[in-house]
């Protein structure tokens, strides 16, 4: 079974803090993705990575950066958290190509 | 750009009713893939089906069935004899090739299904 884990289910941070969200997959997948999910807006892609140290911007990259130093780990970084980044963050991984993405349980981030 | 429309924001049915969730897509690609995911109240998205654009055969898996019609750019999902455990948000998604040659998914906004006992 594919397993994608995320470092926290719930996180509360203060405005201006630097926030790291970690995602780890155990299926040797090349592709990894970060989404945010907001009511009425569905899932929106922030960044994705198709190989170690490679990344590509998604639809809403502003205010975020990512890091992929190892194949199994993909980190989302909020350099200076703001209240409008309060959201559910979902990580996913897949094989190359338009393959099925497998999702982690999500991190609900609240920025006060 | 690719687009996925799930026009039904919320649907409420009584247990044992059949229910169809609509998905309409727009794409410039000649080859593409369509997906359905389920997100139960626990929050984790669960993969249900992946279909490529060359395969228009309907698919059935237990109480679930999918109707893919290229002519109308639709990929609808039907649950037969719905159960309370089917209550979830359902997402339809479409593959997209980026300018850099990578593949990503474009998701619809989701349909929240509530099945009442």
DSSP state string for A63-110 = T-EEEEEETTEEEEEESS--GGG-EEEEEEEE-TTTPPPEE---EEEE
Report the alpha-carbon distance of residue A15 to residue A18 in Å, rounded.
9
Q: With the CA atoms of A87, A36, B92 and A30 taken in that order, what torsion angle do they form, in degrees rounded to the nearest 10?
A: -150
Percent of chain B with pLDDT over 90: 78
Interface test with A, best of B1, B52, B91, B107 (most A CBs within 10 A): B107
Distance CA A63, CA B90 (A): 28
> pLDDT at residue B99 above 80?
no
Q: CB of A44 within 8 A of CB of A57? A: no
- Render pLDDT for B2-45 as a digit per residue (tens, 0 to 9): 899 999 999 999 999 999 999 999 998 888 999 999 999 988 99
CA distance A31 to chain B (A): 9
CA distance, residue B12 to nearest chain A CA (Å): 17
User: Given this model, what pLDDT does residue A53 score?
Assistant: 86
Taking contacts as CB-CB distances below 8 angstroms, the residues of chain B near A39 are: none
Instruction: Give the pLDDT band (50/70/90) at residue B83.
Output: very high
Q: Determine the average pLDDT of the residues in B52-77.
A: 92
Digit-coded pLDDT (tens) for A42-82: 999 999 999 998 999 999 999 999 999 999 999 999 999 99
Q: Measured in whole angstroms, how far is the alpha carbon of residue A39 from the centre of its chain?
A: 18
pLDDT for the residue A20:
97
What does the pLDDT read at residue A2?
A: 66
Q: How far is A84 from chain B (nearest CA, A)?
A: 19
A100 touches chain B (CB under 8 A): yes
Interface of B with A in 26-65 (CB under 8 A): 32-33, 35, 37, 42-47, 50
Q: Are strands B10-14 and B111-116 parallel, antiparallel or unpaired?
A: parallel
């Amino acid at each position: 079974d594919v397993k994608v884990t995320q470092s926290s289910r719930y996180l509360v941070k203060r405005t201006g803090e630097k926030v790291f969200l970690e995602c780890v997959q155990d299926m040797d997948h090349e592709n990894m993705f970060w989404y945010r999910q907001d009511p009425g807006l569905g899932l929106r892609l922030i960044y994705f990575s198709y190989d170690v140290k490679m990344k590509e911007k998604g639809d809403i990259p502003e205010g975020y950066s990512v890091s992929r130093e190892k194949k199994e780990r993909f980190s989302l970084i909020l350099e200076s958290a703001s209240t409008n980044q309060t959201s559910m963050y979902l990580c996913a991984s897949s094989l190359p190509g338009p393959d099925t993405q497998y999702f982690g349980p999500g991190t609900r981030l609240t920025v006060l | 750009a690719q687009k996925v429309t799930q026009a039904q924001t919320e649907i409420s049915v009584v247990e044992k009713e059949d229910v169809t969730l609509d998905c309409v897509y727009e794409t410039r690609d000649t080859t593409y893939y369509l997906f359905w995911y389920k997100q139960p109240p626990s929050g984790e998205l669960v993969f249900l089906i992946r279909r490529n654009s060359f395969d228009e055969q309907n698919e059935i898996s237990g109480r679930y069935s999918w109707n893919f019609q290229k002519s109308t750019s639709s990929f609808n999902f039907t649950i037969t004899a719905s159960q309370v455990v089917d209550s979830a948000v359902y997402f339809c998604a479409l593959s997209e090739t980026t300018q850099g040659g990578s593949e990503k998914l474009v998701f619809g906004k989701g349909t929240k299904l509530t099945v009442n006992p």
